[in-house]
Chains A and B, each alone.
Chain A
Amino acid sequence: MELKKLLALLAIASLGLTAGCGQKSEDEELMAMANSASKATAVLGTASVAGTVTLTGKAPGTAMFSVDADPVCKAQHTGLVKDETVIADAKGDLKNVIVYVKEGAGNYPAPATSVELVQKGCMYSPHVFGIQVGQPLEIENSDPTLHNVHCLAVTNDSFNVGQPNQGMKTEKKFTKAEMPVKFKCDVHGWMHCFVGVFTNPFYSVTGDNGSFKISGLPAGSYTLVAWQEKYGESAPQKVDIKDGEAKSVNFTFAATN
């Protein structure tokens, strides 16, 4: 008799099942996007800010990793693959840094053109990019192997979609500004990329020489920051700019290991 009670005790051992169920409906999100667009200040200006992002101190060596876990990935590379977390040239010019206006810019309507995110060679391309709220993001699998596109958004709704076949495309839109949003593939643990979601077009991602340019700014006072996936957000820089003016702003990150 006591044994039965014991087994019953085990059977009713506590399980915390309090899964949240407060997800917004798609209709509500679309309504929010429409409201946001109606408040948009669509006028672009003629001023611009350009500059360079550099790394000071000893830059970390280029990390390499293997993609041999999937023969399809392996076949598309010769040997190890370069890690894209920190890419700096000999002068310290940093690639893949998002520079954006953090304060001072209003809301702008989303462009109809899509931003493309491609999975090729079991890598995301681009590795870092920006997009506007409501702008279509087209995610394509160019590999003859399966990927899952796992978006780890916090402010926006996260999603996880499978793309088992080559050529598959998925379109998504973000409904809120969020910086940064990480994407990862859980099939291939090394695959990840970052996107900045903004309410305006005033952002730029540094290229190979660490340079960036933000155009179309109306005259005003702005706060700019730079974000790098290893070093995070830089100190903010204030810029007062007039119509037609081109200002230079540079950012630096201190190398840490």
Chain B
Amino acid sequence: MNNASSNYQPSLHRYALITAGCTFVLLLAGALVTSTGSSLAVPDWPLSFGKFFPEMRGGVLFEHGHRMVAGTVALLTVGLAIYTQMVEKRAWVKKLAWSALGAVLLQAVLGGVTVLLHLPTEVSVAHAGLAQIFFCFIISLSLVTSKTWIEDGDHRIQSTGTIRKAALTVTVLIYFQILVGAVTRHSGFGLAIPDWPLSNGQLLPADWPLAVLLQFSHTRIGAFLVLGLVNWIAFKVCTQYTHEKSLFWPAANAALLVWLQCFLGILVISTEKSIIPTSVHVITGAALLASMLVLTLNSFRLFQKESVS
């Protein structure tokens, strides 16, 4: 955090951005594996049908394709950790990079374990949840290695501190909303309530088995909570800090994404979990989380001095 002792490394920042882009593609590839029902198309791990590169047919295209993209991201992350260690002066940024590497390696193991154990919900959800955490690591690295973060480090603005606390709370809330969505998806409860906004034609479900409870929590309670809070914080930021680009743009982006995400959620139900809306719903959730994370991190950076004094 000591900006004075840090120097902007454009190549490191670009490398982190490329890794972030590839991670986003990886999230889409992973979402497609589940959406197309291809999770067990390759029954073995770490090899695929005993080979490094099997015939890319049917579900193998999605599952092995996911493994290939994952391998690329893992290699990029190894490079990112080493490169950060070499050129970065801030110790906490180095730790962040190595943490990202640890996360992606653990993620690979979880991916393998879920295949070998035939997709137990707990492991599949852990795989989905860690994917988002890894993405957050890479997004954070991309942000903290940026020119704005490093060279604009002494810039501070007056605030009551509400924004940063709210941004952090909403970011954590979105993460848990994603986790509930992952549990719903990997438990096969995605259509436990087949309609929206009504529940089997009624305002509330008549019965509340676990499947309905989870789906209702994700598609109604969590969705409305996230929609309301993201719009509230975006309105607050965009009206009070219009000229503070590092707050304005992530907030505006989050406001757009949260509406898109809700629309996609409705599409997922109305199309009975059609492949494209379902997969795009997953990555839009990741993009929303990333936007709120950037807003949170920037708000902590900008409001830090005032909070200390």
Contacts and interface: CB of A to CB of B under 8 A. Distances in A.
Given A6-B168, A187-B41, A189-B59, 12 more contacts: A1-B1, A6-B296, A13-B129, A15-B129, A17-B123, A18-B122, A70-B58, A146-B57, A148-B41, A158-B118, A164-B49, A186-B39
B118 A189 contact: no
A19 interface: yes
Interface string B213-231: 0000000000000000000
Contacts of B125: 16
25 contacts: A2-B307, A3-B297, A4-B1, A6-B296, A9-B172, A10-B137, A10-B293, A11-B99, A11-B133, A14-B179, A15-B129, A16-B122, A19-B122, A20-B120, A70-B57, A146-B54, A162-B50, A164-B49, A164-B51, A164-B55, A186-B37, A186-B41, A186-B59, A186-B63, A189-B59
B106 to A, nearest CB: 9
B255 to A, nearest CB: 22
Interface of A: 1-4, 6-7, 9-11, 13-20, 69-70, 72, 145-146, 148, 150, 158-162, 164, 186-189
A162 B44 contact: yes
Given A6-B300, A187-B58, A19 B43 contact: no
Most chain A CB atoms below 10 A, which of B39, B58, B60, B120 = B58
B113 interface: yes
Interface string B33-51: 0001111111110000111
B173 interface: no
B130 interface: yes
Contacts of B175: 13
A1 B92 CA distance: 10
A145 B120 contact: no
Contacts of A159: 118
B238 interface: no
B262 interface: no
A72 B57 CA distance: 9
B117 A162 contact: no
Contact of B55 (A16, A17, A69, A146): A146
A170 to B, nearest CB: 11
B304 interface: yes
A249 to B, nearest CB: 36
Contact of A160 (B1, B118, B301): B118
Contacts of B137: 10-11
A7 B58 contact: no
Interface string B60-93: 1001000000000000000000000000000010
Nearest to B39: A186
Closest A-B pairs by Cβ, 10 of them:
A186-B41, A164-B49, A187-B58, A160-B43, A162-B43, A186-B59, A186-B40, A70-B57, A162-B49, A187-B59
Given A2-B307, A13-B129, A186 B38 contact: yes
Contacts of B140: 7, 10
B36 A189 contact: yes
A148 B40 contact: yes
A207 B118 CA distance: 34
Interface in B101-139: 103, 113, 117-118, 120, 122-123, 125-126, 129-130, 133, 136-137
A187 B96 CA distance: 38
B43 A150 contact: yes
